[in-house]
Structure 1
Amino acid sequence: MATQDIIATATQNYLSARRKSISLSRSLDLFTQVLAVDLGLKPALLYDTNCASSEQVQQYLNFLQSSQMVSKSLFTLDLNGNTLIVNQELCLLHLNEILTSDIMVVVDVSHLLKAPVLFDPSRGELMNVLQKLHLLIQGYKQHDAPKPLYVGDLCEDWNLCTVFGALLGYPVTYWFDQNKSFENCLSMTPLMVTTASATWQTDAARRHSEILNLILL
């Protein structure tokens, strides 16, 4: 089966939601993002292509893994109904680095502030959440029929805005006191978008670049 056909089959068979299928272009874009996680370019991906469940996303990954399109290091993490595709090894290394050094900048955007201010990420509350997340991901084991890792009630009190920033490898992430309000002080604040690119070639990258070249043919 051709590479594009495998990707299209995986998407159509496992990610259709509300009787709507995903177009081929979006299927290829999703696979490219998943590939970036598999190659270690980023520790995780927040799935937002459509409203497919975490179970569907895991089945999609299972098919790609059985087709040897991506490695077994990927699995699905469900945080209160939000689905992430995680590179287990890289994510653990990244979280450990956050827990042991000051590599992540946290900005407090609580609604009572006049403007965003830097937040001390070493505060116990945030570090405690990331430590729990590290243990959960570390304890995930692959089985013959892998299933998503459901965090469940444990994450109901977590600030998911901050957690997503940490999991996705963002150098800066937002925090606000959700016990007081879910609003923030960012209204009408001008944003600056910075784009960066990099090249990286490894044996695994060469193999996957061949796949990408086939996709683009």
Structure 2
Amino acid sequence: MSVQELFVAAARKCLSVGRKSLSVSQSLDLAAQVSAVSLGLKPALLYDSNGASVAQVQQYLSSLQSLQLASESLLILDLNGNSLIVNAGAVRSNMEQVAVVDVCHSLDKPAISEAQRRGLGSVMEGLLQLLEGFQQLHEPGKPLCIQEKCEEWNLCTVFGVLLGFPVTYWFDQAESFENCLSMTPLMVVTASATWQAGGTGHRCRLYSFSVPAALQEETQSELENWRLRLLERFEQQNVLKDLSISRSTVTLPSVTL
């Protein structure tokens, strides 16, 4: 079997829900994302292709690792029922260069928050200690489950860091889960590449995140650092090719975070 066929077979065997399996295209997109995490091109991926359980995602990763298709250092993080495939080393290198945008519903417009950036740093340091401690236990085939510890975390904010975004959103959950992004022009940044495994190229999206257009200047440093780090890491591997980073502006009547 080719590398692509092995990835597709693993996805269909491990991640089926009822009688529904992932399509070939979905399986290849997932394979490309896992490869990007293995290579450190992104810190983690949030599994949301279908309703597969954390145990199924763990089985999928373990299958890839047994076939030497994914790094042995990757682990599954069960964050309050959300499944993430994580490269802890890449998370640490990303967390210190993230801007936090306060989008509380009570605000007239989004604003950079240094206080929430400091608070996020404390949360992420605690999470990294859990990840690294779990790795040292060396219990292959088991996910790291975090339930009670993350009840007070804003998961939208934490996901932004775990997924490698240079800008992440925060809102006061005690106040409201709504936000002030309605009809706010957003700059959407997308990074795509071609996955070369097996010799046949498959185009996939590695990143997609937004920044309030009015805050482009204030977040320029984080955006440029993210771009340069991605380019540097991209040049150090040969699994993904033809990196493309694009920007567009959208204005939506409502934004769900």
TM-score, normalised to structure 2, is 0.72
Identity %: 54
Q: Encode CA deviations 1:73-104: one digit per residue, 9 max, x unaligned.
A: 11111111111110122223333xx2xxxx21
1:21-36 matched pairs, under 5 angstroms: 21-36=21-36
* Partner AA of 1:55 in structure 2: A
| Separation in 2, partners of 1:22, 1:30 | 10
* Partner AA of 2:134 in structure 1: Y
**Structure 2 residues not aligned, in runs of 5+:** 193-230, 242-257
Give the C-alpha shift of residue 16 in structure 1: 0.7
| Separation in 1, partners of 2:67, 2:144 | 22
**Looking at both structures, which has the greater relative contact order when contacts are Cα pairs under 8 Å and sequence separation is at least 6?**
1
| Separation in 1, partners of 2:108, 2:18 | 42
* Partner AA of 1:164 in structure 2: F
Give the C-alpha shift of residue 23 in structure 1: 0.6
1:36-75 matched pairs, under 5 angstroms: 36-75=36-75
| Separation in 1, partners of 2:86, 2:57 | 11
Alignment partner, residue 154 of structure 1:
149
Structure ranking higher in strand proportion: 2
- Number of residue equivalences: 201
* Partner AA of 1:134 in structure 2: L
| Separation in 1, partners of 2:37, 2:92 | 13
**Structure 1 residues not aligned, in runs of 5+:** 211-217
Matched, 1:194 2:196: no
Q: Encode CA deviations 1:146-189: one digit per residue, 9 max, x unaligned.
A: 21110111111100011011111111000011111111111122
| Separation in 1, partners of 2:151, 2:18 | 27
Match of 1:168 among 163, 168, 183: 163
For the 8 Å contact 1:73–1:89, the answer to whether it is kept is no
Alignment partner, residue 14 of structure 2:
14
* Partner AA of 1:151 in structure 2: I
| Separation in 1, partners of 2:158, 2:16 | 27
* Partner AA of 1:116 in structure 2: P
TM-score, normalised to structure 1, is 0.85
Cα RMSD after superposing both structures = 2.1
* Partner AA of 2:126 in structure 1: K
* Partner AA of 2:100 in structure 1: V
Q: Encode CA deviations 1:107-148: one digit per residue, 9 max, x unaligned.
A: 000000011011115665333211211111111126464211
Alignment partner, residue 113 of structure 2:
119
* Partner AA of 1:94 in structure 2: N
Look up the SS of the partner of 1:139 in the other structure. Answer: helix
Look up the SS of the partner of 1:138 in the other structure. Answer: helix
| Separation in 2, partners of 1:144, 1:123 | 33
Alignment partner, residue 86 of structure 1:
86
